[in-house]
Amino acid sequence: MLRVGMINFLNTIPLEMPPGTGGITFETVPGSPAKINRLLLSGEVDVGVISSAFFLAHRDELVRVGNLGIVSDGPAMSVGLFSNEEREALLRRGRRLAVYETPRSATSILLNRIILERFYGVAVVSAPDREHAEAILLIGDECLETFDAGTYGTFLDIGTEWKHHTGLPAVFAVLATSRESLAEKNSELTLYFSHLLEYHRRLYLDKDSLVAIARTRTHLPEKTLYEYFRSLSYIIGRREEESLSLFGRYIDELQARSPEEGDAVRRVLGSLS
C-alpha cells in the first residue's frame, strides 16, 4: 500500500486527499516538514510534499511527482521574518543580524539567508533562542497567527521579497517520491497523483469549503483565511521551474562563498532532513 506523508499545515489542505478518494487506498503518515523529508528519503513514506531546498539537495535520490507544490507569486503570509526593529535599521547593509530560525523548514531558512545576504548585504547569525534574537523567522500556522496578532512591528514576507528581487514566484515545497518508490510503485503513484490533482482542483476552486476546513484547525478570522488561500497556488509551471533552478543556484553560491558558509548550509539541510 502507498504511504503518503502529510504535514497538516493550513497551506497543505488542498493537497490532503482523504484515503478512499476515487476508490484508491493509501496510508497517511503525519509529521513536520523536516520529518516528512527524512521519511521520504529513508523510504518510510512513498510520496509527500517536501521542502524545495531538501528536494534540490537530494536530486539524485528524489523525483518530483507531477506538477504539484506550494507556491506564492507575491505575499506568502505564512513564511516571514519578524522583528521589533524598523525595517530600515533591520536591513542596514553591512550589519550582522541575529536570527532565530524555525527548526521546521530548510527552504525558509535558506530563502531568508539568500534574501538578507545577497539582496540586502545583511549577514545572518543564528541565534540560539528567541530571547537572544533580533529577528525571528517563522513558517506555517505559527507565522500566520503571529502576523495576525500584530506582536511585532516589522514583518518581511519571504514570498514578497523573493518576487521583488527575482521577478519570480517562490516555490516552498514540491510533491516528490524516491527513485526506489517510483521503480516499485509507479502505477500506484500515477493513480494517486491523478486523483490528487483532481481533488486539489475541486477544493482550491471552492474557497468556501477550503476556509471551512481551515477553520476547524485555527482560530484565525475568515477574512485572513480567504486572503491566505488567495495568496497561494499549487501548480508548478514554467516560471516556477525557473524559480526552483534559480534557488538551487543561489544555494550553491551560498555554500561556495566560504568553508564556513558551506558548513552552515550543510548543517541546515542536515538537521532538517
Nearest to 204 by CA among 29, 79, 71: 71
Quote the pLDDT of residue 257: 76
Kindly indicate the confidence band of residue 273, based on its pLDDT and cuts at 50, 70 and 90: very low
Q: Is residue 67 over pLDDT 50?
A: yes
Structural domains in the chain, sorted by start: 2-72+171-235 (3.40.190.10), 79-169+239-271 (3.40.190.10)
Summarised one tens digit per residue, pLDDT across range 162-175 is 999 999 999 999 99
Mean pLDDT of the 70-94 span? 96
26-30 sheet: strands from edge to edge:
26-30, 2-6, 47-51, 170-178, 62-72, 232-235
Instruction: Say what percent of the chain tops pLDDT 90.
Output: 79
Quote the pLDDT of residue 259: 66
pTM of the predicted model, to two decimals? 0.93
Summarised one tens digit per residue, pLDDT across range 215-272 is 999 999 999 999 999 999 999 999 999 999 999 999 988 888 766 766 767 676 665 5
Quote the pLDDT of residue 8: 84
Mean pLDDT of the 106-132 span? 93
Report the distance separating Cα 56 and Cα 131, nearest Å.
Answer: 32
Strand 123-126 and strand 79-83: the pairing is unpaired
Q: Which residues contact 65 (CB under 8 A, 6 or more apart)?
A: 47, 175, 176, 177, 189, 192, 193
